[in-house]
Amino acid sequence: MDHITSKMLMYGDMPKDSILMELSDICTNLREGTQSRDVLVTRIYKQIKRLLVVATDYAFDKNLWHNYLTFLLITDENPFSITCEKVGASEGSINELVKKDFQEYMYLFHYDFSWIEQALGIDCFSRISNYKAIQKPELMYNRNVSEKVRKLSDQLETAQNADEFFGYVTDFYKAYGVGMFGLNKAFRIKSLEDGVEFIPINNMDKVMLDDLIGYEIQKKKLVDNTRAFVEGKKANNVLLFGDSGTGKSTSIKAIVNQFYDDGLRMIEIYKHQFKDLSTVISEIKNRNYRFIIYMDDLSFEEFEIEYKFLKAVIEGGVETKPENVLIYATSNRRHLIKETWKDRDDVETDNGIHRSDTIEEKLSLVNRFGVTISYSKPTQKEYFHIVVELAKKAGIKMSEDNLRAEANKWELSHGGISGRTAQQFINYVKGMEEMEA
């Protein structure tokens, strides 16, 4: 393993403090006898512990060493892997150079740690090569990433040569991509002094559009626009507006789940981060994914100026918004910006036209969304329909008449009629039935 990464062209640029590089350095020190046994054992245990932390985060199992190496391969964003994402490998000289890297990876996959264990009187490498993970709730790890890593790891174990290894890895890049954008559906951002950091949202709700009862016209508009977007056709920014609890945010999460395999990803940005919008776009514009920049509960008070950043991005500003980016926003306000009577002071009395360019600029922001979809509060009849359908999905045994009667009592004391109220009522009923079982 000594200095193995120095033989790699595309995949050898790893941080010196990475687990692989640290273990490589330990092997060198052991062979050369430059450190004592106690020091080397302590260093090895530290790296094994780090490996176990990664394994816990992603629920790795069986051969943790293979899982770890696979994780490195599918998160290494280099010129080759990025070129391959969502399109696969093309013909070219670079392929033969990369295969030499993969030959070294195969060597690492089948590395025999027994000489280290014998020299130092330890068995930790044998244990991580045949590991049985403790089952844990999904919320404790990123299942989406875990399943992909373990599946590819099993395939790479069977590769007979660098050509097969190359095929498995590049097929993965084509199917899912590479790095954080390849593995995760949704992200938040963290502002840094020199840019932004993308933070994966682990285990986003698995909700699908069929789980949202009613609103068929609204869902169809959203699906049609998003399908055009992921297919590379013309599509519009979307504003979903209407009453609270009607399913606006749920619809957007569902649309991301529906089109994830088609390369759709979501980046959630809060109002105070709008100043970073141009930076975010510059980071994603050259990736082979389609990105929805999601803004939840979007609205502006009269004194807020963040809308200017949003407007500049939508309109293009100095740099045209790339074709792989759309903005989807939800709001309880149809016009996004709260207009006060003070704003109306400079209206012409004879024709009612705003003189203030600032106010006109604010009120015109909604027009920058090509598609606007209204989510109104359900009627009493629609509310009961939602309750009944959700009850069927949840396997609740209560009769429809009793459901309606209890749902009516519930909404009177829990915020009124809405899809969210209906879901909360169903959660309550389901919990009561499970306690009585």
pLDDT tens digits, 105-128: 999 999 999 999 999 999 999 999
Asked whether the predicted pLDDT for residue 295 surpasses 50, the reply is yes
Predicted confidence (pLDDT) at residue 340 exceeds the cutoff of 90? no
Which pLDDT belongs to residue 341? 43
Answer yes or no: do 154 and 13 share one domain. Answer: yes
Q: Look up the domain containing 120 and give its range.
A: 4-180
- 426 plus 298 within the same structural domain: no
Q: What is the CATH number of the domain that holds 356?
A: 3.40.50.300
| Judgement on whether residues 13 and 126 belong to the same structural domain of the protein | yes
pLDDT at 202 over 60: yes
Q: What percent of the chain has pLDDT over 90?
A: 51
Q: Clarify whether residues 332 and 395 are in a common domain.
A: no
Q: Domain boundary residue among 375, 392, 425?
A: 375
- Domain stop point among 343, 375, 407: 375
pLDDT value at residue 227: 97
Do residues 293 and 392 share a domain? no
Same domain, 120 and 68: yes
Task: Work out the pLDDT band at 143, boundaries 50, 70, 90.
Answer: confident
Tell me how far CA of residue 427 lies from CA of 138, 387, 394, 431, in angstroms.
20, 11, 9, 6
In this structure, the answer to whether residues 390 and 328 fall within a common structural domain is no
For residues 330 and 425, state if they share a domain.
no
The pLDDT of 399-416, averaged and rounded, is: 89
Does position 56 have pLDDT exceeding 50, yes or no?
A: yes
63 and 208: one domain?
no
Domain count, the chain: 3
pLDDT band at 414 (very low <50, low <70, confident <90, very high): confident
pLDDT at 167: 96
Tell me how far CA of residue 373 lies from CA of 94, 97, 422, in angstroms: 47, 51, 22
Check whether residue 150 and residue 193 sit in a common domain: no
Domain boundary (125, 150, 180) is at 180
Bigger pLDDT: 140 or 17?
Answer: 17
* pLDDT at residue 304 in the model: 62
Of 116-130, 237-251, 259-273, 301-315, the least confident: 301-315
